[in-house]
Amino acid sequence: MAFLHLAVLGDPVAHSLSPVIHAAALEFAGLEGEYTRRRVDGQGMGRAAADLRSGRLTGANVTMPHKALAAELADRRSEAVVRSGGANTLWMEEGRLHADSTDPDGVRFAWQHARLPDEAPVLLLGAGAAAAAALLALSDRDVRVAARRPEAAHDLVARVGARAAVAPWGRPVAGAVLVNATPLGMGGEDLPAAVLEQAGGLLELAYGHGQTPAEMALRARNLPVASGELMLVGQGAASFAIWTGVEVPPTVMLEALAGHRDQPTARP
Kindly report, residue by residue over 38-82, the tens digit of the pLDDT. Answer: 999 999 999 999 999 999 999 999 998 999 999 999 999 999 999
pLDDT score of 73: 97
How many CA atoms within 13 Å lie on the side-chain side of 74? Answer: 28
Q: Which has the minimum average pLDDT: 40-49, 84-93, 98-107, 254-263? A: 254-263
Residues of the chain with CATH 3.40.50.10860: 4-102+232-262
Task: Give me the percent of the chain exceeding a pLDDT of 70.
Answer: 98
Identify the active-site residue in 66, 67, 141, 144: 67
Residue 178 appears among annotated catalytic residues:
no
CA–CA separation, 63 vs 9, rounded Å?
6
Mean pLDDT, range 117-145, rounded to an integer: 94
Nearest residue to 172 (alpha-carbon basis) of 137, 197, 143? 197
CA–CA separation, 18 vs 7, rounded Å?
9
Domain 4-102+232-262: CATH superfamily is Leucine Dehydrogenase, chain A, domain 1 (3.40.50.10860)
pLDDT score of 264: 59
- What single letter denotes the amino acid at residue 22? H
Please determine, for residue 1, whether its predicted confidence score (pLDDT) is greater than 80. no
Task: Give me the percent of the chain exceeding a pLDDT of 90.
Answer: 86
Residue pair 204/21 in contact (Cβ under 8 Å)? The answer is no
- What single letter denotes the amino acid at residue 214? A
How would residue 267 be classed by pLDDT, with cut points 50, 70 and 90? very low
Residues of the chain with CATH 3.40.50.720: 115-226
Please determine, for residue 147, whether its predicted confidence score (pLDDT) is greater than 60. yes
pTM for the model: 0.92
How would residue 268 be classed by pLDDT, with cut points 50, 70 and 90? very low
pLDDT score of 266: 44
> What CATH number has the domain spanning 115-226?
3.40.50.720
Mean pLDDT, range 238-267, rounded to an integer: 87
Query: In this predicted model, what pLDDT tens digit does every residue of 183-223 receive, in sequence order?
Result: 888 888 999 999 999 999 999 998 877 889 999 999 999 99
